[in-house]
Each structure stands twice: as structure tokens, then as C-alpha cells.
Structure 1
Amino acid sequence: MKILVVDDREDNLYFLQALLGGSGYAVHCCLNGEEALSYLEYENVDLIISDILMPVIDGFQLCRKIKADERTAIIPLIFYTATYTGPQDEELAMKVGASRFIVKPCEPSVLLREVETAYAEACQRKASAVVPIKTSEEEVFKLYSERLVRKLEQKMLELEKEVTAREETEKILASSEKRYRQLYNSIRDAILVTDTSRQITGWNPAFEAMFGYATGEVLGRTTRIIYDSDEDFEQMGEVLAGLSDTQSSLQRRNFKRQDGSVFIGETSVFCLHSDEDVLLGYICLIRDLTERINAENQNKALEEQLNHSRKMESLGLLAGGIAHDFNNLLSVILGYSEIMISRNHSESKGHDFANEIYQAGLRARGLTRQLLAFSRKQVLEMRHVDVNSVVEAFKSLLARMIGEDIKLEVKLSEKPLPVIADTGQLEQVLMNLAVNAREAMPQGGVLSIEISQIDFDAVCARQVSDLAAGSYVLLAVRDNGTGIDKQTLTHIFEPFFTTKGRENGTGLGLATSYGIVKQHGGSIWAYSDVGVGTIFHVYLPLSNEIDVPVAEASAELPPAFAATVMVVEDDKAV
């Protein structure tokens, strides 16, 4: 049996051809009614299976033309439809001469059974010469027109629903696009989109702000313009070449802005694919690490400051303990040497030996006092003083001490800056700093002293260890000498540390200054580099109280009198 299949969908034709051909039938396929009519002019078939909704000539018209031709009128026709599925559609199909009306989808066995039944019935009618009763053209036209109108109304309704659904979808897509665009534009990290050849195709506003390019200046250009060197660009190319579809890569690279400035950035790269899973290019997210690196360096510096303060505190405790015990020994040495001096004739050898012992004891006592100053255990005469006045009164002595080949420049504050301090100890700090400056300028130079007020908030106070937020007097002592290397700079406040050799210094000058400043509730820091010079910053808490003059002690000795003195001391030698 030869069967003609008419359907405008190739997948339906493929299915019916496979099903019917596999069952032993010869099958020929046409895409529409006009093509089927042309085929029937030259070929004979035993059965026709046709869709209804088709271009050019639909199934109803095809059936009417076939039944109107005496040569083809006897051929059974089965409608196999997915669009016209209602009872009125089936009634019209039967009116125009169809043998069966089957709705898609249908079980293959049912379809094959209907094909065999329709063909058997056609053969029986042909054998018995039964002529089918024709429906009038007027009735068929009426039913056909009604079905077309109903179907058109149905299609219009479906179209309206489709349009409404599409509009809703477009609104959702527009809203989603707006949210995506807002997110895309609000991200602080730079986003860069490239094709597979690493040509720039898109970017966000953060990229323009980070790299300094105006809108449109980078479109189509290679990503080499954002890297500091060819090496960074090529290494990133190797990363992209080894990047799989599902992977991302996190890299740290040196990037370059349009103005030529370089910064360290962290970049994360992803593959960009089409809906067909074709590689279109890459999406690159770039984060400027400048703030993070600065914060890490700042935290590291603060940690070093804290460790240094703890080390100096430990050294201070050690130095204070040593000075206390050493003072007890010196008290015995100085006391017995004084007794020996008083009991020996001034021209005797014993007198000279005792005097040498006494002078050595005095020098040793000076060292212990410096140790006590470093350990912050010395007794201070605290009073309200103006730092300007202290420096101004001590200026002439400093000038004579540093020598004529070093120029002394002093810049005082325009207003009084009172602090609670021991004037003698402040002068000692100035003296120690000036001595070090003189040693750093053997060929002469400039020593400048500047006094100013500085106010620290909570953030700024964290930059200087051991200081709380508040107002301070800044005493800056600067020289343009040989400078200090970074390694030495970390040890300069340690007791007995010196670069001059033991014969030229004790290594207690800066340690003493450190202890004095700390005992005054302040902080001292040094900044230097080899060949540039050194600057010491001394911070002292600013006081708002008025200076209270202290009465000077009488120079006259009190009258002698007889008395009994009780001495309490755990050292028997003292």
C-alpha cells in the first residue's frame, strides 16, 4: 500500500515516514496541500494522511479538491491534526469527505489500526460500488467559514494572551536588566570584558575611575594598556590559556593607570560563553589593593612599635634594678672614700688614692642616674613650664656646645605651649639630641629645633605608639648629617648601644632621653636615612593650667645642731 503524508512540519513527516515505512508501507511526503495536489496529478496512492493547518492550501481545502476529482475521490483521507481538535472540527472534516479524524499525539498502534481500517473500508466501498453521499457545497462552505472564524477568534485570543505574556516578560526582563545594570555600575571593583583575542569590549564605571580612562577610550584596544609590563601581560595570557570553562583564576598583578602610575591589583578571571557553550571571551574583575597593602604595612609598623615599646620596657626594668643595687654599692664606696680623704693628709699618697676612688665613684653615680632616667625611676621636680621658654633659655648653651661650624636654627611657637615637666630633664633631652647631631655632622651643617602644637584624634594617635588622643607639644630636632641606616635605627634607644665605640661614648644618651620623655607621659621617635639626615620627634602632653612659680630654696646652710639619726637599710655595708 502506498500512502501520501501531507504536513508542513518536518519532524511530523519524519515520524510518520519512520512509523509507516517500518510497517511495510510505501510512503511519500509533501509539505503542503498544493504540493500534494501536484503529486496526485501524476501518481496514484492508496491512502492520504494530512494535517489541517498548513500554508498555501489547508487540509480542509485539500480534502474538498481531492473528493471533487472523480479520479481521486475514492482515496480514503485521514486527518491527523493538533490544531483543529474540537467536535465541530471533526464534524466539518467528515462533511468534506474525511474517513478518519485523529488528534495528535496518538499512540502508534492506534494510528496504524485506523490506517488499516480506513483502507479496508475504502476497498469494500470500491468493490460494492457504493457512492458516498456528498454534502452540498453551501453547507460545507458555511461550516468551513464558521470554523475559520472560530479558529481566527481563538488564534486572536491566544495571540492577545501571548502578547500580554510577552509584555509581562519584557517588563520582568527590563526590571532584571535595570537591577543588573545598577549592580554592574555600583560595584567598586573594576569589571573588564574582552573577546578571545583580549580586545576590550565592555567595562563598568569603576574601571574608568580606577584606571582614569574616559568613556570609549578603551573600546577595541588590547588589555596590554592596563598592565605595567609585558611580563604581567604575557603571564596573564598564560593563565587565560590554561583556564577551563568552569574555573576562575585569582592573580596579583602590577597594573598601570592612564597617567602612568602603577598599583598592585588582585584580578579574578572567568570564561564568557554563549548559549551554545561557545567561548566568547573573558570577564575580568580587578580590585585595587593599595589601601589594603597600606593598612597591612601600617599594622606591621604598629606591631613593630608595640614590640619595640615592650622591649624598651623590659630593658627599663632591668636597668632600674641594676641601678638600684649599684647605687647601694656606690654609697659604700663614696662614703668610705670620703672618710679616707678626711683622715689623710692632703699631700699623702693615701689621700690621692682615696680621691681617685671618690672621683670614679662620682662618675659611676652619674651612669646610674642615667640608668634611672631610662628606667623612669628618677625623682623629678615637675612644674608647669612653657617649652618655648625652656628652649629659648637653653639656646645659647646649645650653640656653644655644638661648635661654630654648625648653624643652630630655632623656630618657636607663636603662642605659649605649657607642659608639666622637669626643666632640667628637658634640657638634658635637648643636650643629648644636640650631641648626637654634632657627631653626625663632623664637617658642619645645620641643626634646627622647631616647636609646634599637634592634635591627635583616635585615628592619628594610633600612628604613634603609646599616645592617646589629645593635644601635644611637638619638639622636632633635625640635622642634615650622615643619617642612620634602618637596622641601626631600631636599636638607638637601647641602653649601652653605640656606634662610636666604647672609648667615645657610653651608649646612654638616647636611652636616657627615651626614659625622660616616657616619664613625662610622652613619646620620642626617630626618622632617618643614610645621607639624608635625622629628625627626632618628641611629643609631650599639652597642659592648659597656668604656671605656678616655685620658691627657690635658700642657699644658706641650716644651723648645726646635735641629733640622733636612725638609719634603716637592708645592706649592712651602706
Structure 2
Amino acid sequence: MEEKTSRQGRPEQRTEARTYSPIKIIVILVLSVFFVEAFIMMLFYFYRDFLEPVHAIFIDAPLLVLILSPILYFFIFRPLMALVEKREEAERTASRERDRFQKYLDVAGVMVVVLDREGKVRLINRNACQTLGYREEEVLGRDWVENFLPARLKKEVRFEFARLISGGREAEGYFENPVLTRSGEERVVLWHNAVLMEGGIAAGTLSSGEDITERKKTEMALKESETRYRLVHNTAFDGIIIADAKDRIIDCNESAARIFGYPREELIGQDVGVLVPDKYKKAHKEGLERFLRTGESTVQGRIHEFEGLRKNGEIFPLELALNNFTLGGVLHFTGMVRDITERKRAERERELIQARLSQSQKMEAIGRFAGGISHDFNNILTAIRGNAELALEEMKKSDPAYPRVDGIVNSVMLASKLTRQLLLFSRGQPFELVPLNVNKLVDELLVMITHIIGEDITISTDLAPDLCTIEADESNIEQVIMNLALNAKDAMPAGGTLSIKTENVFIDERRAKSVPDARPGEAVCLTVADTGVGIEKEFLSRIFEPFFTTKEAGKGTGFGLSIVYSIVKQHRGWISVKSEPGRGTIFKIYFPAALPEKEAREVKPLKGGGEKVLLVEDDLPVREFTKAALANNGFKVVEAGNAKEAMEAFQREPDLKVLFSDLVLKDKSGFNLAEELLTKKPGMAVVITSGYAEETSRPLLKEKGYSFLPKPYSVGSLLKAVSEALERSKRPD
């Protein structure tokens, strides 16, 4: 055996074939014959008595050789030489075939392994050696299962190999099995086996295998990527829609199906147009055709706001990010869809809140302005009204100037109502309940309502003649009626009929329990109805919410009906509303009827009996009127223009019975002045007056037990306030 190296650099084993020369064969044969003959002749010599003489020995041998040599050469040695040459040629051919086969195996792109019946490696190619990390001589003759398979598979593979060799099972087409490399790494190989047969018996196996480790890793990575994609696809809050060039939906996630109100299975296969509102369908189709024709798009690559169409026909706002991609040479479109309904609603509410805040700030400014001017304005009205009333007392009704002076008094009363309305903005007007006839109030407001609502709207009234009185604040009830009239005007832009009705009703216990906020007993019902556009059912439950309005931006504050609701609640009343779109709206407002004794009670101003009143007022015309009114009706008046003068007057006149003071003085508040005087003279009657009493002042007035007289006041209300304060001061605590 000699070792040589192949062209591929791998050592090869080759057996040297024996060569035979014809001369060598003849020499061997001649010598053989010669020695045979010599041996024979020696025999003849030793047994000469039985054989020929000695000289015949040396002659016979050469003659025998000469005679036998040609015969042996032509009939024995030449055929023998031919056989030998044929064998040598066969060996050389077999060697060349083995080398060629090995080269074929080595250049093959797959692993090739031949195992014998015992499972030992008999043949392996270069690809297999490179995969395993071994040289050929390190693999040949070794047990394949024991040395080149992972431990966990050895038992199973050995059993299957034994069944294959024994004919218990047929070779499978392809199967995956890992191999163990020199470094301990496992490589996944896709095998194909064939059984090698010799004489009808399985002699081993021929296996070809492809190392698919990297492919398996790629497949695993793709599978993981697909899993991640599906996870993101299916769990994304935003909708994902994939469509083809024919505008047909080929895939979507559950979010997209939820957003548009379809089951996912139903949405797939649909035309994208089913998700597009009618007004956008044409533009959508034209945009797709333009992109397919020119590759240009005005919407792809950016986020746009559009409107979508749900299955139930609802149109809703959405954000769309559109793009395209090519998969397998086929154009596809992908769209990310986000339902922005809630965001748009929040934006509208934020804008509305900002508008409401701005409106509140404006109203607050108006309120501050109203509060600022009301004090001075009411002082002026007080002086005008008071002096006019004093003039009337001195005049006879037959006097030609009497009606004019009486008109001044009435005009001041109307002006005082205006200031009360202004003070509602600043919440500076105290809530004053008095017996009130709603019919009279409606009659007084009709002229104003007529001017406000315009000529296109007809006003119809139906006022009950025997209507009960209610205890209410007149300015507040005026505002209720006016707000409802204005609301009706807005509901009838093309004209219509405004109906105002009053009636007495009785609310029994059963009805009171079935109507929210209702109270059993006698009640006055004020009905304000219109023939306008009506209110949608979905909005009926919200019409009394502050800031809520269905009007266009800038055309409504959302305060009107909320103020109505608040005022009615403050008067222990309740409201019912009936409305249908296109059929108008009916508001029914219920107020508890006043008790009979309160209806019949008349308050008569009391004249004084010489009681001293300390009058503190910094406005001279008001002070002079008040002094005259009190003096003309039996009171003695000590006047002061500020708190300091008041204290000095008290020192001079310690027998003062009543303090009548303006709330706001230049050097001290009326409250502080009253407290200081009461420490010196407990039990003194106190009357506080003001043209602007803030909400914070009202609890303090009640707590201290002071009487309060709002400006502008009349002579009668002045006398009544002073008389009641005196009576209260005489009562034991």
C-alpha cells in the first residue's frame, strides 16, 4: 500500500497492482524444469541399477527443456500472461472509476454518506466532512449514530436504521435530522435515504443530505417576524387595512373591523368604497385611478383627516395614513385608520369651554360694571322717586302737574327694575320674595316681548282670571318669561305663534311622586309654547345644562334655559318640557300657590311717634329726601354724611332709637358703624340700605338681625322698614 495526495489535497489510499513480464515467467519456468530434471537425474544416479546410465542424465535434461519450452510458452505462459494483463487493466479501471466517483461526490452540493449494515461509515464526501468538521480518514469506519448524532436521538435512529436494514420499513422520501459537529454544534440536515442491496440482501444505506440550518433559522426568524406582525396587527388599537390594486380589501385587523362596525370576515373581500361616505366616493375612485396611471398621490405618505362610513350608516371623523408596497410583483395599499370621534368631541368641548370661559369673563365684567354703576344709579333713582312722592303728597289730584309727577314715579319704578336686571349679572341683588300675580306680570311684559320677538311671530295669551298669587321675586320671574320668549323666537326663524297661558292646578300625591321635583297641593302653571323647529329627543335631557346650546357658534351662550331652571328651583317650582322635531316645544312651569292669608295681607306703613332716627347717607339728594320723608311722617331725624359725623351725632343725641345707614360709606361700612353704636347702646333698631348689596352681605344681615331696604325705595317702603325695625327691637330676645 502506498499513500498519495489527490488534486483536491485529500490523502488517497491505493493498492499497487503486481506486474508480470513474459521473460520473467519463462526464466522461472525454465529453472523450474531444469531443477526438476536435475532432481530426476539425481534420482537416476542414486538408483542407477534401475535407471539409465549416468551420461544419459546430462543429455536428457537439456533435450527435455528444449522440447517442453515452446509448448509451455504457447499453451501455458501466453494465456497466463493474458489473464494477468486483463486483471491488471481491470484493477486500473476500477481505480480510475473510484477516483472519478469520489470526485463526483466531492463536487456534489449535498452531503453523501454510505453506511454498512453495522452503521459504520464506508464512504463520505467532502461536503459532509466540511459540515461535520472532520477529515475523511477521521470519519471512515466510525459508527455514524454513536459519533455524529445528538445523544437524544441515538436510540430512536439506531432502531429505525435496524428496521431499514432488516427490511422492516421502506426508506422515507425526505426527513429532517440534526448532526453533531466536531465543535458540538447541531446542524439540521434534510436527508434522503436509499437501501443498498447485494444479492437481494441489504448491504447498507446511501444517504444524501442538505444542510438547512441557515434556512431553518431564516424560517424561524420569518415565523417569529410573522408572529410579531400578527400580534401587532391584531392588537393594534388603530385599524389596519390592506387592499389590492382593484380596491378590494384582502386583509384587516380586528380594530379596523370594530371601527367600521363589521365582522372581520365580512369586511375582507369587500370593496374599500363601502367604508367611504357617498360625498367622497368619486374623489376616492379618481385618486386611485390617477395613482395607477401616473404613480402620483396627494394623500400617501402623510396623515390626513377624513370621514369614514360605518356599517350602520354613521359617518365619523378619522385619521388615515396611506401607503403602498409591492409583494410578489403585485401592488398593494395599506391604510392605518384611527377613529378620532372622541378626540374631535373633546376638541369641540375644549373650544366650547374656552368660549364659555370667555363668555363668563365677559359676563363677569358686565356684572362688575353693573354692580359698580347700580349703587350710584340707585341713589339717583331714590332721590328722584322720593322727591316725586313727596311732591305728590303735597299736591291735589286735580293739580295739572299731578299726572306728570306720578309719571315720574312710575318711570323710576321701571328704571329700578332695569337696575335689578343688571344686578342679576353681578349677583348683587338680594332675593326678595313678595306676593306676585303672574297675570299682571305677563301683561306688563307683553309690550316688551312684542318688540323683541318681531312682527313675524303672533303672541297668544290665555290668562286665568282667578289665578292664585305666588311668592316670588318679581325680577326673577320676569327673566324666566323673557328667556322663554327669546328661546321661542330663536326656534321660529320663519315666524309662528308664541302662546302664553296661566292656570290654577292641583297636584295630588300620586302625580307629585311621578314628576321630579313636584310638590303636592295648589300650584300656578305658566305655559309658554311655540310652533318652532322643536328639540331633538337626544338633546331634551341636556337643555337645562349650563352652557349647552344647539345654536351655531357665537349665536347662543347656553345660559338662557339654565337660568330659567335655576330660578324656578329657587322658587320651589319645577318644569316639564314636551317637544318633537318640527312640531314645536311646550314649557310648563309650576310654582306653589301662596297661602290665602298671605294673599289677603296688606302692609300699611306706620307713622312715627317722635322716635329719633340717625340717618347716615353720603349722597346728599338721597339724604335730604329720606330726612323729609321721615320727618313728614312723625319721626325726628338726626342726619350725618359719614360714619365720623354719625358718631359725633350719637354723642350729642344719646336717645336715638333707629340707625338708618347706607351700607357703603366713605370712611366706614354701615355694618361696622352699627356694631360700634350697638356696643354703646344695645337694642337700637338698625336698617341698612344699599343700591348694591353683595351676596356675601346677605347672610351677615340675617345673622345680625338687621333690616335691609334696597334702593331705590319709596316713601312707603322706607316707613315700613323703619317701623318693622322698631317693632323688632322692642321684642325680647
TM-score by length of 1: 0.51
**Aligned counterpart in structure 2 of residue 284 of structure 1, from 330, 335, 347:** 335
State the one-letter code of the partner of 1:266: E
Q: Secondary structure at the match of 2:106?
A: coil
Correspondences of 1:292-307 after superposition (within 5 Å):
292-307=343-358
**Distance (Å, rounded) in 1 between the aligned partners of 2:531 and 2:489:** 11
Contact residue 240 and residue 337 of structure 2 kept, 8 A: yes
Contact 2:239–2:259 under 8 Å retained in 1? yes
Paired residue for 2:614? 566
Q: Distance in 1 between matches of 2:443 and 2:413?
A: 27
When residues 453 and 271 of structure 1 are mapped into structure 2, their CA distance, relative to the original with a 3 A threshold, is farther
- Could you tell me which residue of structure 2 aligns to residue 52 of structure 1? 106
Aligned match of 1:267 = 320
User: Whole-Å Cα distance in 2 between the matches of residues 336 and 395 of structure 1?
Assistant: 31
Structure 1 residues 84 and 398 mapped into 2: Cα distance closer, same or farther (>3 Å)? closer
Structure-1 residue corresponding to 2:304: 251
Distance, in Å, in 2 between the alignment partners of 1:92 and 1:339 is: 136
- The answer on 1:232 being equivalent to 2:280 is no
Residue aligned with 1:570, SS: coil
Who is 2:260 aligned against? 211
Q: 1:407 to 1:537 in 2, by over 3 A?
A: closer
Shift of 1:171: 8.2
The 5 Å alignment of 1:390-539 reads 394=438, 406=460, 422=472, 424=474, 427-433=477-483, 436=486, 444=497, 446=499, 478-481=529-532, 486=552, 489-490=555-556
- Alignment length, in residue pairs? 408
Distance 1:535 1:346, change over 3 A: closer
Matches of 2:431 and 2:109 in 1, distance apart? 111
* CA contact 2:527–2:586 (8 Å) conserved in 1: yes
The question of whether the paired residues in 2 share the 8 Å contact of 1:271 and 1:279 is answered with no
Could you tell me which of 420, 430, 436 is aligned with 1:369? 420
In the alignment, what sits opposite 2:370? 319
Contact 2:531 2:583 in 1 (8 A): yes
1:360 counterpart residue number: 411
Given residue 82 of structure 1, which amino acid in structure 2 is its aligned partner?
Answer: Q
Given the superposition, is the C-alpha separation of residues 296 and 257 from structure 1 closer, same or farther in structure 2, using an over 3 Å criterion?
A: same
TM-aligned CA distance change 1:152 to 1:408, over 3 Å: farther
Distance of aligned partners of 1:304 and 1:454 in 2 relative to their CA distance in 1, 3 Å threshold: farther
Give the Cα–Cα distance (whole angstroms) in 2 for the partners of residues 239 and 537 of structure 1: 61
Distance 1:556 1:296 in 2: 60
Native 8 Å contact 2:496 2:531 kept in 1: no
| Residues 382 and 187 of structure 1: CA distance in aligned 2, closer, same or farther (over 3 Å) | farther
Structure 2 counterpart of 1:203, one-letter code: C
Shift of 1:531: 8.4
Q: Report the Cα distance in structure 1 between the residues aligned to 2:433 and 2:403, rounded to whole angstroms.
A: 40
Counterpart Cα distance in 1 of 2:356 and 2:216: 66
- TM-aligned CA deviation for residue 562 of structure 1: 0.9
| Letter in structure 2 aligned against 1:187 | A
Change (3 A) 1:328 1:559: closer
- AA at the equivalent of 1:479: D
Superposed displacement of residue 314, structure 1: 1.7
Deviation of the 1:172 alpha carbon = 8.3
1:309 and 2:368 correspond:
no
Instruction: Show the 5 A alignment for 1:44-193.
Output: 52=106, 54=108, 82=130, 86=134, 89-90=136-137, 146=142, 159=178, 161-162=186-187, 180-193=229-242
> Do 2:276 and 2:309's aligned partners in 1 also have CA atoms closer than 8 Å?
yes
Q: 1:297 to 1:169 in 2, by over 3 A?
A: same
Letter of the aligned partner of 2:282 in structure 1?
D
1:573 is displaced (CA, Å) by: 2.3
Q: Is the 8 A contact 1:224 1:230 kept in 2?
A: no
Identical-pair percentage? 26
Q: Which amino acid aligns with 1:562?
A: G
Task: Determine if contact 1:211/1:226 at 8 Å carries over to the other structure.
Answer: yes
- Unpaired runs of 5+ residues, structure 1, are 8-36, 61-78, 94-142, 411-420, 456-474, 495-509, 541-546
Determine the structure 1 residue equivalent to 2:386. Answer: 335
SS in 2 for 1:561: coil
Q: How far apart, CA to CA, are the structure 2 residues paired with 1:312 and 1:521? A: 26
Residues 392-445 of structure 1 deviation map (CA, whole Å, 9 limit, x = unaligned):
x958986998899747799xxxxxxxxxx9454554344434655787888645
Distance in structure 2 (CA, Å) of the matches to 1:511 and 1:152: 89
Alignment partners' CA distance in 2, 1:397 and 1:310: 32
TM-score, structure 2 as length reference: 0.42
Q: Kindly tell me: are residues 530 and 320 of structure 1, through their superposed partners in 2, closer, same or farther at Cα, counting changes over 3 Å?
A: farther
- Which of these two proteins has the greater Rg computed from alpha carbons? 2
What RMSD over aligned residues (CA atoms) do the two structures have, in Å?
Answer: 6.3
Distance across 2 between alignment mates of 1:56 and 1:425: 103
How far did 1:290 drift? 2.0
Kindly provide the CA deviation profile for residues 228-276 of structure 1, in whole angstroms up to 9, marking residues without a partner as x. 21213434666794479xx8432222222334432222112344455x9
Q: Distance in 2 between matches of 1:193 and 1:219?
A: 9
Shift of the alpha carbon at 1:492? 10
Cα offsets for 1:308-349 (capped at 9, x unmatched): 222222212212322221111122222333344444555445
The answer to whether the 8 Å contact 1:195/1:280 transfers is: yes
Following the alignment from structure 2 to structure 1, what is the Cα–Cα distance between the partners of residues 108 and 562? 103
- Sort the Cα spacing of 1:273 and 1:263 in 2 relative to 1 into closer, same or farther, 3 A: same
SS at match of 1:202: strand
> Which amino acid in the other structure matches residue 211 of structure 1?
F
Label 1:221 to 1:433 Cα distance change in 2 as closer, same or farther (>3 A).
Answer: closer
The structure-2 alpha-carbon separation of the partners of 1:399 and 1:211, relative to structure 1 and needing over 3 Å to count, comes to farther
- Once the two structures are superposed, residues 492-550 of structure 1 have per-residue CA deviations (whole angstroms, 9 ceiling, x without a partner) of 989xxxxxxxxxxxxxxx9997996799899x9x9x9998767889999xxxxxx9x99
Distance in 1 of aligned mates of 2:515 and 2:351: 27
Distance 1:187 1:493, change over 3 A: closer
Q: 1:271 to 1:359 in 2, by over 3 A?
A: closer
Tell me the amino acid that sits aligned with residue 193 of structure 1.
I
**Unpaired segments of 5 or more residues in structure 2?**
1-5, 11-92, 115-125, 155-176, 180-185, 190-212, 451-457, 465-470, 503-511, 518-525, 535-549, 623-733
Secondary structure of the 1:296 match is: helix
**Using a 3 Å threshold, how does the CA distance of structure 1 residues 434 and 518 change in structure 2: closer, same or farther?**
closer
Q: Is the 8 A contact 2:500 2:528 kept in 1?
A: yes
Contact kept? 1:445, 1:479, Cα under 8 Å: yes
Distance 1:520 1:486, change over 3 A: farther
